[in-house]
Structure 1
Amino acid sequence: MRRRTLGRDDVSTGTDPRERIRTSAESASDGRDLPTRREVLAGVGSASAALVAGCSTTLGTGPDPTLRIGTLRPPVTLDPIEAESIGSEQTVERVFEGLYAYGERTDIVPAIADGEPQYENDRREAVIELDDRARFQNGRDVVAEDVVYSFEAPLEEDAPTAWRVDPIGSVEAVDERTVRLSLSEPYPALEHALTHPIVPKEEREDDRETFATDPVGAGPYEVASFSAEKKATLRRWDDYWGEPVPEIGRVTMAYVEFPMTQLTSLRTNRNDAIEPVSPRIVDDVESVANATVKRREGYTSFYFGFNLNEGPTTDPRVREAISYCIDLEKAVGEFIEPMGERQYGPLPPRVAEEWDMPTGEWAEFANEKNAERAQQLFREADEASGQLRILTTMDPKHKELGEALAGGLRDAGHGALVVSKPESSFLERYVSGSERDYSMFVGEVSGTPDPDSFLYPTFHENAEGTTNGTFYREDAVMERLTNARETRDRERRRRLYEEAIARLLEDRVCLPICSYENSFAVDGNVSNFRVHPISQVNPRLAWENGVVTVGDGS
C-alpha cells in the first residue's frame, strides 16, 4: 500500500499499538438487559405487514454488492465547506479526499498528498506535493488551486468549517502540483486540519446550490442520488485513482427516525447495518436481528448549552437554578448507558484522561437535583414565570434528555417547552442567539484527540453564529482558547485549557452530559466491518489492510 503512517495522537495505554488496535477496534454488547427489553421484542414481533412486504434483502447481490445503512443521523448537505452534522460528514467522507486521511486509529496518512509534508521555517511552513494521479470524478486533475480554494472558501464564506482552517495564515500554489501552507503562529492541531476535504474550485463556484446535492469529489464513491435529511445513495467510482478500492459497489445512508424501526429493518433485511446503536435495543440486536454490535470509544460528547445572548439564561442565577432541575446521573443511566458514560467537563473522558485533566474537580461543579433550591434561585433572579425553550434535534437521545430537563423545570415550578427540529432547522436555530429559538439546546460535538476540536468551535466568540450557540464573551477564556491553539508546548496548552474549562463550568456556560461511543449493528453477512474512533470516518469501507465485504465477497 502507498499510504503510510505519518504520526499518532491517540490515547496511550502502555501496550503494543498493534495489540491496542486489535483489542479496541470492536467489542460486542455487554449483554445487560435494559428496562425496555420486553417492549423492544414485542415491537419487533409485531412489525407491520406493509414494512415487511416492502423489504428485500440487499445481501449477496453478486459481483457488485450493496450495503444499506439505517441511520439516526441524516445527511443535510454534501458540500464539505458547509457540512457540520455527523450525518453530512459521514457521507462527504466517502465522496471526497483530503490531503491526508485518518489511518487505523488517529494516525494521519497521505491521501491526495504524495508523502509527508516538508516543514520549513521552524515548522511555520509546510510544503505538500500532490499525487500526480489524483483527479476528480469528472476526470479533471486535482491541482494546487483546488487545494488553495478548499482552505480559503470556509473563511471567506464564514462557513461552519472555518474554525478548522483559520489558523492557517495562507495557502499558496507553488506550482500545479505543489502547495505551501504558512502559519502566522504554531498550530499543534495542523495535522487534523490537513484532513479537510479538497473540493474542485471551478465546479463548486459554477453552481454552489447544485454542488451541495450533486457534488464532484476525488474519493472512491460518487453520488447516485441525494434527498436532504432522508437518504444518500453512493455508487463506487470505478475509475478511482487511489487505493485501497472498496468492494462495496453501492452504499445507501437512509434516515430512520426511531431505534425500534432500526431494529425491525435489520430483522427484515431492509438494512444491512444501523447506526448509532440505541441503548434501547443494544441487548436485543443479536437475538432479534442475527446481527452483531460493533462499538468503539470515540470522540463524541453531549451537553446542554445556554443562550447567553438573549433571555432569562443570560442571568447566571437562572443558569444555576436550571442546573438543580435535572439529575444527570440518572438521565445518563436511563438514556445513554451502556453506549456512553457520564462526563463532567466539555471534553470526553478519553480526551480528558489523555491530557491529564482534573476531572474530579470538574465533577464538583455538578449539582444534584434540588427543586427547592432551583425555586429559590428563580425567585432571586425574578424569573418565576414564562416558558424556557429547550431546543433539540429529532434524535431520540436528544429529545429524551430535553424532556428530562423540562420535567425538572416543571417540578421547580417553571414552564418549559421542548422544541425538536429536523437537523437543518436545528443547525440554523441553535446558533441564532435568539430567545425565540432557545433558552437552552442539546449540543453534540464530534471531535478529535485534540481538545481544540471541542473547545474552540463550541465556545470561542469567533465561532458565534456558526458552531457556537452560547455567545459567551469572557475575554480571559477567549484569550486562553486562542493561546492554546498557538503553542506547541503541550503542558502549557494543558494549563490553558484547564483554566478555560474551570471558568466555563463556574459560569455555567454549559451543563456537560456524557460521551457516546461510535457504534453500528451489522448483519452477519457483512464481513470485516470495523468501527473507527473518529465519527466522520465511519462507515469505513476500505482501509490499508482490508475492505468490507458482503456475502461471500465475490
Structure 2
Amino acid sequence: MFMGIGSNAVEDETEHVDSALTRRRTLQTVGTAGILALAGCAGGSGDGDTTNTGGGSTDATATQSDETEQSDQQSKVGGSLTVAQAGAPPDWDPVKGLGVPSAIVGQNFFSTLYTYNDALELVPDDLAAGLPEPERDGQRWTVEIVDNAKFHNGDPVTAEDVMYSFQAPIDEGSWVASSFNMITDMTAVDETTIQFDLEYTYGAFPGSLGSMQIVPKAVREADVDKFSREEPIGSGPFVLDGWKENEFATIKRWDDYWGESKPNLDEVTFVPIPESTTRVTNFKTGESAIMQDIPPKLFSTVESIQDGRIAETPALSYTYMTFNLKEGETTKPKVREAIDYTFDMDQVVEKFVEPAGVRQYQPIPIPTAKAWDMPINEFEQMAVGKDIDKAKSLFEEADVPGNWSCKILCPPDDVRENMCVTIANGIKEAGYKAQVQRLDWGTFLEKFSTGNKDDFNMYSLGWSVSPDPDYQMYDMYHISGAGANQGHYWNDEEAMQMIEESRKTTDRERRRELYIEIQKMIIEQRVQLPAWNPKGVWAVKDHVEDFQIHAIPSQNPQLFTDEHNIWVDE
C-alpha cells in the first residue's frame, strides 16, 4: 500500500535539519529566554558603554560560524535505516488501541497532544500549543492546539478531530478508554480550543490526554477497516508508505510536515523478527541498524559486535503471569496459591531474564515504586519459592480433578515462553497436566481477555505504563477493564472501591497508601504473579547518531523528537 503523498521539489533542504528550539521547546524555555534577554540588556563593559568595539569582524565571524553550522546540519539529512522489531504490528487504529509493536511504528505518523520527555516530565507534543489549563478544582481542563497542523491527506487538524479521538474509544468500548472515561462532556470552544469536563477531579488527567493519538474523524468514520488495515492517516512527521503484516512496515519522511523542523531520515523500515537468535544475526550482518530487545543469553554476542553498541535504561514496564479468575479451576484461591509453589520466580529471572531485566515483587514497576516510596522490601517478603509438597497439598484441598490440565497462553516471546514452560513443568511435577500455547500477537490478543476457561487458565504478558500509577492500577486491575485490557476479571469489592478512590483524590499521600494496600491484595489473592521489570534494551550500529532510549517502551526508538533527531553518519 502506498500513501501517494507528494513532495515539493523546490523545498528548501534546510527545513529538514535539527532545530535547537522547535515550537514546543520555545514554549518550555520562554521564561529562561526572557531572563537571558534581561541579562543581556544589563551587560556591557561595566561603565555603561554597550558599543561593539570589535568592528565588522565580529559579524563576519558569526556569519561564517552560522554557515558552517548550517552545512553540518544539512549533512545529517537523508539516509535510511532498518529496525529489527521483536513483535509484528497487527493493525494501526489508535481508537482500538495500539499495542507496543504497533505503537513503536505508529508513533511516527500519528501525533499526540502531550508526551513525556527524557526526564519523564509531561510536555506539549507537536499538536498542543501549551499544557492543559485546569479549572473548577481540576474538573475542567482546556486544551489549545496549534492552528497550522494538518493530516497527511491535507485536511486541517481541528477541535472536532481531537474530541472524536477521545470519544470514539468510549463509544466503541476500546481498552484505551479507561484512561479518560471520566470525561462527561467535550466542547469545541473554537476550531483550536477544546474544553473537557470531568465527572470528578482527576489529577492524572493531563497524562491521559497524552495517551491518545489524534485521528481524522471524517476519514476514520468513512471506513474504519480501511483506516485500521490499509491507510492510517495521521498528522505526524512520517507517513506509512508500505506494510505487509508479519513482514515489514516502511515509513517515509513527510516533506509537507507542518512542524518547525523535520526528521533527518528519509525512510525507516521496521522488520518484525520474533525469534531472538535470528534477530541478533540480522543485526550482526548489518541487515538492520537498530534492534529491539536482546535476550540475556545473547548479550555477550551483541557486545562482541565490533560496529555496534548496546543502549539500555530502566523501563516503565512490568512482566507478569495472570490467572483466569472468571472461569475454571484457577478461580479457586488455593489453586492459584498451589501454582505459585510449583516454581521459583527468582530462579526464572536469574536463568532467563538477567541482565535484560531484574526481579520485581510488586505489580508497579520498580522506577515508579521507588518514586512513590513503596515498601519494596515488604513486597519481596511476600514472595514464595518452590515447594512441590505444599503445592500438592493445596491442589488436594481445592479438590482439583485428577485429569485437570492447565492451559497457559504465551505471546511470541522466547523469554516469557521459558517462564511459562517452567510453570507448566512444575504443575506436572505436582501431578497435573499443563500445556503452553505460544501464539502470534493477533491470536493472543483475541484470546487473552475472553475469560473463557477453554481459552486459558493463565497467561503471560507485559504492561508498559506511564509515570503515574493510576494508569496501571485502574486500567490493569479495575473490573471495568475486564475483557479489554485484562483477562483476569478480578472483582474484589473492597479493592474496586479503593482503586476508584485513588483516582478521585488529589492527595498524593492518600493515593500512595491506597496503592500499597491494593498491591498487597493483588499479591495475597494472587491475581497476578509479578515476574520482572524489563530494561529498555536496544542494539544500535555505530553509524547511527543521536540514538537515545526512553523509559517508556512504546516511545522507542526515538527517531524524531524535541530532544533527538536520528541521523546516519556514512
TM-score by length of 2: 0.85
3-state SS of paired residue (1:282): helix
CA contact (8 A) 1:100 1:194 kept: yes
Task: Note if contact 1:318-1:377 (Cα within 8 Å) is conserved in structure 2.
Answer: yes
Instruction: Compute the displacement of 1:234 (Å).
Output: 0.7
- Verify the 8 A CA contact 2:319 2:530 in the aligned structure 1: yes
Counterpart residue number, 2:166: 151
Look up the match of 2:567. Answer: 549
Partner of 1:401: 419
Could you list the per-position Cα deviations for residues 452-495 of structure 1 after superposition, in whole angstroms to 9, with x for gaps in the alignment? 22221221100010012101110111111111111111001011
Match of 1:52 in 2: none
Contact 1:259 1:280 in 2 (8 A): no
Structure 1 or 2: larger helix share?
2
Letter in 2 for 1:112: L
Residue 214 of structure 2 is matched in structure 1 by 198
Q: CA deviation at 1:105?
A: 2.6
Amino acid at match of 2:262: V
**1:170–1:259 Cα change, 3 Å:** same
Contact 1:6-1:107 at 8 Å conserved across structures = no
Q: Which residue of 2 aligns with 1:208?
A: 224
**Residue pairs, 1:287-436, within 5 angstroms:** 287-288=304-305, 290-383=307-400, 384-436=402-454
| Deviation string, structure 1 residues 395-417 (Cα, Å, up to 9, x no partner) | 11121111111111111111110
In structure 1, the partner of 2:545 is 527
AA at the equivalent of 2:430: A
Aligned position for 1:121: 136
Matching residue's letter, 2:374: M
Contact 2:138 2:203 in 1 (8 A): no
Whether contact under 8 Å (1:73, 1:255) holds in the other structure is: yes
User: What amino acid is aligned across from residue 253 of structure 2 in structure 1?
Assistant: R
- Separation of aligned partners in 2, 1:299 and 1:394: 21
Q: Judging changes above 3 Å, is the alpha-carbon distance between structure 1 residues 407 and 289 closer, same or farther for their aligned structure 2 residues? A: farther
Partners of 1:427 and 1:408 lie apart in 2 by 26
Match of 1:47 in 2: none
Structure 1 residue aligned with 2:296: 279
Change (3 A) 1:475 1:106: same
Picking from 88, 94, 99, the partner of 1:85 is 99
- 1:3 partnered with 2:24: yes
Q: Which amino acid aligns with 2:267?
A: R
In 2, the alpha carbon distance for the partners of 1:428 and 1:107 equals 34
1:465 matched to 2:486: no
**Greater Cα shift, 98-107 or 249-258:** 98-107
Name the stretch that deviates more: 79-88 or 473-482.
Answer: 79-88
One-letter identity of the residue aligned with 2:342:
C
CA–CA distance in structure 1, aligned partners of residues 552 and 390 of structure 2 = 40
Please give the secondary structure, in 2, of the residue aligned with 1:485. Answer: helix
Residues 263 and 289 of structure 1 are in contact (CA less than 8 Å); yes or no, is this contact kept in structure 2?
A: no
Query: Aligned pair 1:106/2:127, yes or no?
Result: no
User: What runs of 5+ residues in structure 1 fail to find an aligned partner?
Assistant: 8-60
**Mind listing any 5+ residue stretches in structure 2 that lack a counterpart?**
1-20, 29-74
Determine if contact 2:92/2:98 at 8 Å carries over to the other structure.
no
Q: 1:510 aligns with which of 517, 528, 551?
A: 528
**Structural mapping, 1:261-280, within 5 Å:** 261-280=278-297
User: How does 1:35-50 map onto structure 2 within 5 Å?
Assistant: none
**Aligned partner letter, 1:494:** R
2:322–2:460 contact (8 Å) kept in structure 1 = yes
Q: What residue in structure 2 maps to residue 494 of structure 1?
A: 512
Q: Counterparts of 2:112 and 2:284 in 1: how far apart (Å)?
A: 36
CA shift for structure 1 position 6: 8.6
For 1:185, the aligned partner's letter is: Y
Listed one character per residue, the Cα deviations across residues 402-435 of structure 1 (whole Å, up to 9, x for unaligned) are 1111111111111110011111111111100001
Spell out the pairing of 1:118-197 with structure 2 (5 A cutoff). Answer: 118-195=133-210, 196-197=212-213
RMSD after superposition: 1.6
Q: Which residue of 1 aligns with 2:7?
A: none
Distance in 1 (alpha carbons) for counterparts of 2:445 and 2:202 = 28
CA contact (8 A) 1:77 1:83 kept: no
Query: Aligned partners of 1:471, 1:75: CA distance in 2, in Å?
Result: 26
Letter in 2 for 1:443: L
Q: Distance in 2 between matches of 1:529 and 1:62?
A: 13
> 1:225, 1:234 within 8 Å by CA — same for their partners in 2?
yes
The equivalent residue for 1:67 is: 81
The answer (yes or no) to whether the contact 2:322–2:527 under 8 Å persists in 1 is yes
Q: How many residues align?
A: 499
Indicate conservation of the 8 Å contact 1:229/1:423, yes or no.
no
Correspondence for 2:237: 220
CA contact (8 A) 2:548 2:564 kept: no
Is residue 351–residue 451 contact of structure 1 (8 Å, CA) maintained in 2? yes
- Stretch of structure 1 that moved more, 200-209 or 257-266: 257-266
Q: Percent identity over the alignment? A: 34
Match of 2:557 among 536, 539, 542: 539
Distance 1:347 1:78 in 2: 28
Deviations 1:179-232 (A, max 9, x none): 101122111221221212111000011111111122110101111112234321
Counterpart residue identity of residue 553, structure 2: S
Contact kept in structure 2, 1:305 and 1:440, CA below 8 Å: yes
Separation of aligned partners in 2, 1:223 and 1:81? 17
Instruction: Report the AA paired with residue 212 of structure 1.
Output: S
Please say if residues 162 and 214 of structure 2, whose CA atoms lie closer than 8 Å, have aligned partners that are also in contact. yes
Instruction: Determine if contact 1:460/1:468 at 8 Å carries over to the other structure.
Output: no
Check the 8 A contact 1:352/1:359 in 2, yes or no. yes
* SS of equivalent to 2:219: helix
Question: Is the CA contact 2:77–2:265 (under 8 Å) kept in the aligned structure 1?
Answer: no
On the 8 A contact 2:448/2:459 being kept in 1, the answer is yes
